[in-house]
Amino acid sequence: MSPGGRLPLLLVAVTALAMTPLACTGLGEGLTYYRTPSELRPAGGEHVRLGGLVVPGTAHPDGRELHFSLTDGTKTIDVVHTGYRPPVFREGQGVVAEGVLGADGRFRSDRLMVKHSEEYRAADGSR
């Protein structure tokens, strides 16, 4: 290969090497992580995302709160959600609740995202 042919190849390699960290950083920001009921551990007030299926027959409103249970098929945890309830929320569907595991073993949620069109979205459209 001639010296003039190596320069474009070297430029491509250097550019690709420089872009790799940027691509990995952008990918990490787009991912949403949550724990399942089996993975949830008492964490001293840590605000986390809890994902699972709403157990049929457990969802009921109580004033400003919505009570329901989430399961991953192995473990079930009771959730108390305070805040906006998405109109498409229903039993048997996948949800991700953001909140804190209380000392009483109940998960206290302040944000609820429901699975809709293969994505989890909050009421404001954010993920």
At residue 69, the 3 state secondary structure works out as: strand
Count of H helices and E strands in the chain?
A: 1, 7
Per-residue pLDDT of the chain (127 residues; tens, 9 = 90+): 555 566 666 666 656 565 556 555 544 444 557 899 999 887 667 889 999 999 999 999 988 999 999 999 999 999 999 998 888 899 999 999 999 999 899 999 999 998 766 555 565 555 5
Please indicate, yes or no, whether the overall pTM of this predicted structure exceeds 0.85. no
Among 82, 77, 84, 12, which residue's Cα sits nearest to residue 50?
A: 77
Task: Give binding residues as ranges.
Answer: 116, 120
Alpha-carbon 77 to chain mean position: 17
Domain spans in the chain, listed from the N-terminal domain onward: 1-31, 48-121
Query: Measured between alpha carbons, how far is 124 from 81 in angstroms, rounded to an integer?
Result: 17
Task: Give binding residues for heme as ranges.
Answer: 116, 120
pLDDT at 46: 85
* Superfamily classification of domain 48-121: Nucleic acid-binding proteins (2.40.50.140)
Alpha-carbon 114 to chain mean position: 10
**E strands in the chain:** 48-54, 60-62, 65-71, 76-82, 94-101, 107-116, 119-121
